[in-house]
Amino acid sequence: MKNFIIGIDVSKDTLDFCMLERDSRKKLQQGVIANKEKEILTWLKNLDQENVIVALEHTGHYGALLSWLLEEQLFTYYLINPLDLQRSLGL
C-alpha cells in the first residue's frame, strides 16, 4: 500500500507540490521546483516510488514533461480532469 500522496499544481515554469501522509492527511512537506527535467529528476530521486502516489491536474503540454518522467521512473500517478477537480470543490 502507498503511504504518501503528493498533489502537484503544474504551471509553465514551476511545480508546486504538497506531500501528505495517506492515513492521517498530515502535511509532511511542501515546496516549489522548476518545471525542468534536471530539477524534476533530482526531486524524484529523493522519493520512494513504491510508497508514493502522485496526482496532478491535466494541463496539456505544461505537465507533459512531469508525466513522462513519472512514467519513466515507474511512479504511480493520476492525471485529473480540470472539470472534475472544479466540480469536487462545489463550483
Task: Report pLDDT digits (tens) over 48-60.
Answer: 999 999 999 888 8
Tell me what pLDDT residue 34 has. Answer: 97
| Cell (9 digits) for 90 | 462545489
The one-letter code for the residue type at 15 is: L
Instruction: Provide CB contacts within 8 A for 7, sequence distance 6+.
Output: 17, 18, 20, 55, 56
Specify the CATH class of 4-88 in words. Answer: alpha beta
The confidence band for 89, taking pLDDT boundaries of 50, 70 and 90, is low
pLDDT, averaged across the chain: 90
Instruction: Provide CB contacts within 8 A for 71, sequence distance 6+.
Output: 77
CA distance 84 to 87: 5
pTM for the full predicted model: 0.85
